[in-house]
Amino acid sequence: MTPGARIQAAIELLEQVWDGISPPNVLADRYFRKRRYAGSGDRRAINQRLYDVLRRRARLDWWIERTGLDLQPGGRTRVVADLAVAERTAPDEIAAMFSGVRHCPGALSPQEAELADALYGRPLRHRDMPRPVAFEYPDWMDASFAALWGEDTEREIAALNEQASVDLRVNTLKATPEQAQKALADAFIDTEATPISPLGLRVNGHPRLGGTEAFKRGLVEIQDEGSQLLALLVGARPGMAVVDFCAGAGGKTLALAAAMGEGGRVNGRLFACDISANRMERMQARLKRAGAHDVRRRTISAKDDNWVAENASRADRVLADVPCTGTGTWRRDVNAKWRFQPTDLDQLRQTQLHVLRDAASLVKPGGRLIYATCSLLQEENELQIAEFLKNQADFSPLLINEVWAETIGGASPPTGPGLRLSPASTGTDGFFCAVLEREK
């Protein structure tokens, strides 16, 4: 593919990302499956430009507006701005790539040509940029981040804008970490143990894993180290009754199944619940590959579900990984940060409390409720736990460092009212977790 054709492909992908709700990596995989002619070098170049523009969106938009040309930010204008500002590409070179021939983008309009000329050689970051622009996050979240991190805000946010590692969880139903690592090495995939999770392997580079025997045989699952730690903190054990209340795609369900494994099978009752029948159906293939045949899937109603009522006070452990803004996963879904508005947060908080109360009803006396989000906002984390405990006198929070010692072993990362993980502090995605115990 020519440089211009690669730019056109990136523009098409950017428009798809901004039009939909699928993460960029999912859209890119789908895009390249239909374009087998794109070689590995083409894919790398297109993906690089795609993620570069996504990670620089706020700064590029700031520069586009500053020119006063009255151009609306979009795929073409942001790519032109990125070429001129971030890559310092001369205006005539940009015009040559926007030639309109051989799959290249259409010729620059007079305004776009003027944009390229006005921004050529400008610095990507300017002293006049507000902090949310310079560090690429919605301005309405600034007060929340400042209250949480104070002087560390810029360091924490900068880490959220970096590329994430590829982490794997070893499926102990089928292999030990050593066996899984050897199987990956046989496929020329180099890994090392994750710093915190005892079941994690971090992949060096970004190889394709789906075709490896280790993946196809279910020896490993792709799962961020932070997500692995949350599943371990549930403390699921053989013989227990455990509920993954918002199972989604099933990543934590698989981790819980492995924790309950005995003799290569799930020993106990493990339920994966979700309001989406489609997600429950898609999970089946993952369960089969992992050898977690005994997991029971339930599609439940958002409110007043009969199965929830019938199973009140029966579970030893209930994990409620609730819907959230996903601020902790910005490294992986770069566009997610622009998906929500303050009104969306208000609605999410109501949903979170409702889910938390329903999940709590399943916990038996002496059992535990584990509240988790992949958000960094206190409004979705500490404040939600405080609100829940106002009306649930039979639940009390456990000290995370003691739960950590019991379930994972060793010293935990610094904790407060709950466990907080972030790219800057732990090298993981951002997560929050609180463990609540019901009175016996």
Q: Are both 209 and 230 inside the same structural domain?
A: no
Which CATH number characterizes residue 266's domain?
Answer: 3.40.50.150
Q: Which two tokens stand for residue 370?
A: 């584990």
Q: What is the pLDDT of residue 291?
A: 95
Q: Are both 109 and 243 inside the same structural domain?
A: no
The pLDDT tens digits for 346-378 are 999 999 999 999 999 999 999 999 999 999 999
Q: What is the pLDDT of residue 303?
A: 87
Distance from C-alpha of 204 to C-alpha of 196, rounded to nearest angstrom: 17
Q: Which domain holds residue 189?
A: 166-222
The strand pairing partners of 395, in sequence order, are 438
Which CATH number characterizes residue 195's domain?
Answer: 3.30.70.1170
418 belongs to a structural domain: yes
Q: Are both 301 and 186 inside the same structural domain?
A: no
Q: Which of 103, 129, 155 is the last residue of a domain?
A: 129
Q: Are both 190 and 304 inside the same structural domain?
A: no
Q: What is the pLDDT of residue 369?
A: 98
Which CATH number characterizes residue 88's domain?
Answer: 1.10.940
Q: Are both 205 and 113 inside the same structural domain?
A: no
320 belongs to a structural domain: yes
pTM score: 0.92
Q: What is the pLDDT of residue 279?
A: 93
Spans of the chain, pLDDT less than 70: 21
Q: Are both 275 and 289 inside the same structural domain?
A: yes
